[in-house]
Structure 1
Amino acid sequence: METEIRQRVKSSPVSGIVLVDEEPKGHPGGEIKHGAATQVLRFMLFITYFMSCCCSIVATQLFGVPLYWLNRDLYYAYMALTKQSFGIFVTTLTQWWAPTPVRVSGDASVAGKIKKTADGRVELEFPGRVVLIGNHQIYSDWLYFWWAAYTNRPQMHGHIYIILKESLSYVPVIGWGMRFYGFVFMSRKMAIDQPRLAYRLQKLKTVHSGPMSGTSGLDPMWLLLFPEGTNLSANTRKKSAAWAQKQGIKDFQHVLLPRSTGTFFCLNELKGTVDYVYDCTVAYGGIPRGEYGQDLYSLRGMYLQGRPPPSVNMYWRRFAVDDIPLDDHEKFDSWLRERWHEKDLFLEHFVEHGSFPTDKATVNGTSNVATADEVVETEVKLGHWYEVFNIFIMLAAFALVANVLARIWNKTLGRE
């Protein structure tokens, strides 16, 4: 059994010698389930599936580029289909390599918006245009939000937009695909980022008449923001505490101080086209007090060693945009910090009890029913196994059409 070692120095009876007392401490994800040879095999299978899916999706995007000049509405609808493919891809990636139980709950503001299906899956019933905000725990947080968009009715995994750090845009293949998706890449310098944000948000609030548009002519949109700007770690927690002390404001234990400027700008730009902000507090099971998810749940540990979190916990709340003080930045900053203070209390409850505080009226909207479920316990998985072929169907269709056209051409020239 592989264990993490907590080292404790103690005096030796022999003068001048110091002993290190090794005290085993179990990993919350359990033992490493796969040895070195199996990890190599899993890596080869993982990278093969990863690259084949990513290359297929990007190739499909490239085939659709001419639509941009022919019909913009069709172009955006086409790219939304390729975004659906990526949502299915990240869901299957987790389902097959790092199967993870997920517990979904919320407060009374989302009563009836979280459903449990007969076969144990979760169905969210959030609107087609929302801004999502969440705390940032580990590098793969965005994956669970994308899966949540997949579980929504109507499904929104083709309409999610994420604000990311600029360096990711230069990653070969993946960075190209994210550019086609209309994601926003931030340098963390508002003078540079504000024009980029304004350009993208203008597109997201433009009225269209294409196949995606709703009754108002606005395309579906789930805009995902992480106001903390980075994930929680010992280093970022220390910086957050120092900033809180400098500003003379209350610090937190389980989250970082949120940065309000970008969120304030986004909400003001989208005001009138979005009715609600949906807030999700994310917690990963098994993290001891004072430790950090990024140190325990690495991508290697989750996908290769077989040590995913014992649970991913999502606690949802909803806020009406009209009730948020968007006319004054200082008031908004206080409002956002108060929401993060509440998150800190939720996470303290999670550390103490292993769960979030729940409302029985939330799941399935069964208010006043004593037997109502408080939490939907499910897992990251597809609704139907055959959906995985949607990743490759467009590229296969292009190949089929190209083959038919080649045969017609050859017959025309008398080669067949």
Structure 2
Amino acid sequence: MVAALEWWSGTECTLYTDPKSYPLYGNENAIVVLNHAFEIDFLCGWTFCERFGVLGSSKVLAKKELAYVPVIGWMWYFLEIVFCKRKWEEDRTTVAQSLQNLRDYPENYWFLLYCEGTRFTPKKHQISMQVAEGKGLPQLKYHLLPRTKGFYVTVQNLRGTAAAVYDSTLNFRNNEVPTLLGILNGKKYHADLYVRRIPLESVPDDEAECAAWLHKLYQEKVSENKKRELCGRHG
């Protein structure tokens, strides 16, 4: 599927990041926090993994229904992908157990996490910002409120084995709205991925403080142009 993105459709994905962080990518375990605004987000995330040699050892927190999708779901199951029902009372223990299995994983891995929990749409954004207002949180323009419980459990179970959080934001140029069907039809898109490496020790241990930290992370996500100014470019 990564080949379909880069070879078949010719889609270009340009990475912007701190040059000092660049040599560490692929050489350490990490939690990758991705935004979820496009149909092919997951393909660009896998491209990021493939570029640094960790595609085969990448893991995601995915909804249980995806385990039953032919080919992809079965492949994810055997690759030890962490599945959840999105019912936290049931998920907390099973997710923690799955994450504990990664502590002695024999290769460097990246754990990909969509903290928003669902893909961005105007309707979902409106509802999410009503929740933000009710909780006294700042409004987010391009993101939904992050779901903090899954992030906290991930951090606590991978602390000591994962070295960093990669704060990652994906955008497409020229207001493109990429689709999987477009990729399969050979349509070329232009993606920009902005990655900021944050040492895991800077994430608080306390659950409430960790939640506040994640909310602040989403509040700090900046526009494409600002990130282009702040980061070095790696094609």
TM-score normalized by structure 1? 0.53
Distance 2:100 2:121 in 1: 34
3-state secondary structure, aligned to 1:356: helix
In the alignment, does 2:112 pair up with 1:224?
yes
Name the structure 2 match of 1:376: 234
Name the structure 2 match of 1:317: 196
Q: Which runs of at least 4 in structure 1 moved beyond 4 Å after TM superposition?
A: none
Q: Is the 8 A contact 2:82 2:99 kept in 1?
A: no
Q: Give the counterpart of 1:168 among 58, 62, 66.
A: 66
Q: Is the 8 A contact 1:201 1:266 kept in 2?
A: yes
Distance 1:355 1:332 in 2: 24
Q: Give the counterpart of 1:301 among 182, 200, 213.
A: 182
Q: Report the CA distance between 1:241 and its aligned residue.
A: 1.1
Q: Give the counterpart of 1:356 among 228, 232, 235.
A: 228
Q: Report the CA distance between 1:251 and its aligned residue.
A: 1.3
Name the structure 2 match of 1:52: none
Greater RCO (Cα-Cα under 8 Å, separation 6 or more): 2
Name the structure 2 match of 1:30: none
CA separation of 1:96/1:321 partners in 2, compared to 1, >3 Å: closer, same or farther? closer
Q: Give the counterpart of 1:235 among 117, 123, 147.
A: 123
Amino acid at match of 1:335: W
3-state secondary structure, aligned to 2:98: helix
Aligned residues: 235
Distance 2:93 2:6 in 1: 38
Q: Give the counterpart of 2:98 among 200, 209, 233.
A: 200
Q: Report the CA distance between 1:322 and its aligned residue.
A: 1.3
3-state secondary structure, aligned to 1:357: helix
TM-align CA RMSD: 2.0
Q: Report the CA distance between 1:169 and its aligned residue.
A: 0.8
Distance 2:56 2:67 in 1: 19
CA separation of 1:169/1:281 partners in 2, compared to 1, >3 Å: closer, same or farther? same
Distance 1:145 1:188 in 2: 21
Distance 2:43 2:7 in 1: 14
Q: Give the counterpart of 1:127 among 24, 27, 36.
A: 27
Q: Report the CA distance between 1:307 and its aligned residue.
A: 3.7
Structure with greater Cα Rg: 1
In the alignment, does 2:22 pair up with 1:114?
yes
Matches for 1:224-303 after TM superposition, within 5 Å: 224-287=112-175, 296-303=177-184
Distance 2:211 2:227 in 1: 28
Q: Report the CA distance between 1:355 and its aligned residue.
A: 6.3
Name the structure 2 match of 1:191: 89
Name the structure 2 match of 1:144: 44
Any idea what the Cα deviations from partners look like across 1:189-210, whole Å, max 9, x if unmatched? 111111221221111113x7xx
Seq. identity, %: 26
Any idea what the Cα deviations from partners look like across 1:239-296, whole Å, max 9, x if unmatched? 2112112212111101111111000011011111122111111111122xxxxx6xx3
Q: Report the CA distance between 1:354 and its aligned residue.
A: 8.8
Distance 1:238 1:308 in 2: 31
Q: Give the counterpart of 1:105 among 10, 13, 16.
A: 16
Distance 2:124 2:162 in 1: 32
Distance 1:354 1:301 in 2: 29
3-state secondary structure, aligned to 1:375: strand
3-state secondary structure, aligned to 2:161: coil
Name the structure 1 match of 2:2: 91
Distance 1:354 1:312 in 2: 16
Distance 1:248 1:354 in 2: 26
3-state secondary structure, aligned to 1:269: helix
3-state secondary structure, aligned to 2:99: helix
Distance 1:102 1:278 in 2: 17
Q: Report the CA distance between 1:338 and its aligned residue.
A: 1.0
3-state secondary structure, aligned to 2:143: coil
